[in-house]
Chains A and B, each alone.
Chain A
Amino acid sequence: MRTLTRALTALLALSIAGVAIADQDEADTCVRSKVWEAYPEGWAVRTITKANLGETEHRIYLLTLYAGNEYKFLGCGDTSLVDVDLVLYDADGRMLVQDQTEDRQPVVEFRPSSTDTFYLAVHAAKLVDASETGKKASVATAVTYR
Chain B
Amino acid sequence: MLPSWIRPVLFSAVLVGASACGGTPEAPAPAPGPAPEPAPAPQAAPSLDLATLQAQAQNIALTPSPAEMQAALSKAQITQSLAELVQKREVDMDTPNKDRVAVRTGVLVADVVLTIKTAPKEDLVARLQGIQKGMQQLGGGADIDNTITDLVNRIQNDAVSRDELVKDIDELAGVIIPEIEYEAGEKVVPLIQAGSWLEGANLVSSAVMASGKFDTADALLKQPEVVKYFRQYVKIEGENAPDEVVAKLEQTLGQLEMITSGETLGEEEVKTINEQTDAVLALL
Chain A residues in the interface with B (C-beta under 8 A): 32, 36, 39, 44-49, 56, 58-64, 66-69, 83, 85, 87, 89, 92-93, 95, 98, 100-102, 114-115, 117, 119-121, 123, 125, 141, 143, 145-146
Contact = CB atoms under 8 A, between A and B. Distances in A.
A46 B58 contact: no
Nearest to A63: B61
Dominant SS among interface residues on chain A: strand
Contacts of B50: 92-93
Contact of B57 (A32, A60, A66): A60
B45 interface: yes
B72 A62 contact: no
Interface in B215-234: 218-220, 222-223, 225-226
Given A44-B166, A114-B219, 8 more contacts: A62-B57, A62-B62, A68-B75, A87-B45, A87-B48, A100-B42, A115-B218, A115-B220
Contact of A146 (B42, B71, B218): B71
Task: Among B45, B72, B174, B175, find the residue whose CB has the most chain A CB atoms closer than 10 A.
Answer: B45
Contact of A62 (B48, B59, B75): B59
A66 to B, nearest CB: 4
B92 interface: no
Interface of B: 42-50, 52-53, 56-65, 67-69, 71-72, 75-76, 166-167, 170-171, 174-175, 178, 218-220, 222-223, 225-226
Given A44-B170, A85-B45, A123-B45, A62 B71 contact: no
3 smallest beta-carbon distances between A and B, as pairs: A68-B75, A93-B50, A102-B42
Contact of B61 (A69, A102, A143): A143
Contacts, number: 128
A60 B67 contact: no
Contacts of A141: 61
Given A66-B71, A92-B50, A46 B220 contact: no
A58 B44 CA distance: 14
B175 to A, nearest CB: 5
23 contacts: A39-B166, A44-B166, A46-B61, A47-B178, A49-B60, A49-B178, A56-B46, A58-B45, A58-B56, A59-B58, A61-B58, A61-B61, A62-B62, A64-B223, A83-B42, A83-B43, A92-B50, A114-B219, A117-B62, A117-B223, A117-B225, A119-B57, A145-B68
